[in-house]
A = this chain, B = another copy of it.
Amino acid sequence: MKKNILVIPGDGIGPEVTTWGKAALEKIAEIFGHEFVFDEAIMGHAAIEVTGEPLPDETLEKARKSDAILFGAIGHAKYDNDPSLKVRPEQGLLKIRKELGLFANLRPILLFDELLQASSIKPEILKGTDILFFRELTGDVYFGEKSRSEDRNTASDLMIYHRYEVERIAHKAYQAAQQRNKRLCSVDKANVLESSRLWRETVQEIAKQYPDVETEHMFIDNAAMQLIKNPKKFDVVLTANLFGDILTDEASQIAGSMGMLASASVGESTGFFEPIHGSAHDITGKDLANPLASILSAALMLEIGFGLKDEAKLLVDTVDAVLKDGFRTHDIADQSTNRFKVLGTAEMGKLVLK
């Protein structure tokens, strides 16, 4: 199989982890005899520094032409500390999601048995958890009109949904639920928000087309609580952009660390694969980042992007084997025991490749 893959390392720890996601893809190509042609592009703070724009046209063009994108992370402390800056790294990520029509963000909560102890949640609560999040990615308050009054004392963002936006992701989520445990939980705040009432109404309608899937509707506040109280009760979780952002970060504790979670954004054409962790400026360049989320993002690209199940499985199994052998990065090492061999980013990356 021949595929063109665009690598966008981005900001912060993005470059150091993406190196290993890319290397994993190269290794897979070598083993299975595929031809993966790589190109690279800039985005975020890295792009602002060079071009003044968070998403240069050239990057977008390369993205449109590629079969899949492997992305790192975005964001920089400079902008976080100065909310008044007009040009911001995150705009690049939001724009590419919108431009490529990446309306469905899949975030599987993959639980490696070996990491049950790494979580702050009790192992017996976690064991057996298997959740697949469908986060809507191109609507909501992320993309609604923003405004700031002239005196700068009032600011607003429009939380807005159109029925077709809810329908298309609901279909994807229900289809996934049919292949899994046939339970779907839709999360909203319909007791307060009109956009959530549209969300709930629409999901109720779509649900009728999937009578084999059991549907539950839950308020976001309750869901944030249930997710850690009893994560096993969830199978597919379907939710809006903002609520999905919050719930999936929270859910990363189920997997032991944010450093373990990958995501796939799909929609109209090219798929976009990235760790759910952020740019983590505090540990950038210190060889402390966990490259496994990028490697698992590569696995998602193989499986969801290219339909290469065996190739994806080999990557996931290798990560599992490395964990079984007691190797850990800092974020998933239990400091209280000496049982683990704690590795830096590069050592961990190399080990998986071997």
Contacts and interface: CB of A to CB of B under 8 A. Distances in A.
B252 A194 contact: no
Interface stretch (A27-35, A147-155, A302-310): A147-155
A157 interface: yes
Contacts of A152: 163, 198
Which of A83, A193, A230 has the most chain B CB atoms inside 10 A of its CB?
A83
A206 interface: no
B90 A192 contact: yes
A72 to B, nearest CB: 16
Counting chain A residues whose Cβ lies within 8 A of the other chain, the interface size class is 35 or more
A151 to B, nearest CB: 9
A90 B80 CA distance: 35
A191 B250 contact: no
A228 interface: yes
Interface in A58-91: 75, 79-80, 83-84, 88, 90
Contacts of A148: 194, 198
Interface of A: 75, 79-80, 83-84, 88, 90, 94, 120-122, 125, 141-142, 144, 146-148, 152-164, 189-198, 200-201, 204, 217, 220-222, 224-225, 227-230, 242, 245-250, 252-253, 258, 278
Given A154-B162, A156-B158, A224-B249, 17 more contacts: A80-B190, A84-B197, A84-B201, A90-B192, A120-B228, A120-B229, A121-B121, A122-B122, A141-B193, A148-B194, A153-B162, A153-B198, A154-B198, A156-B160, A157-B158, A157-B194, A227-B250
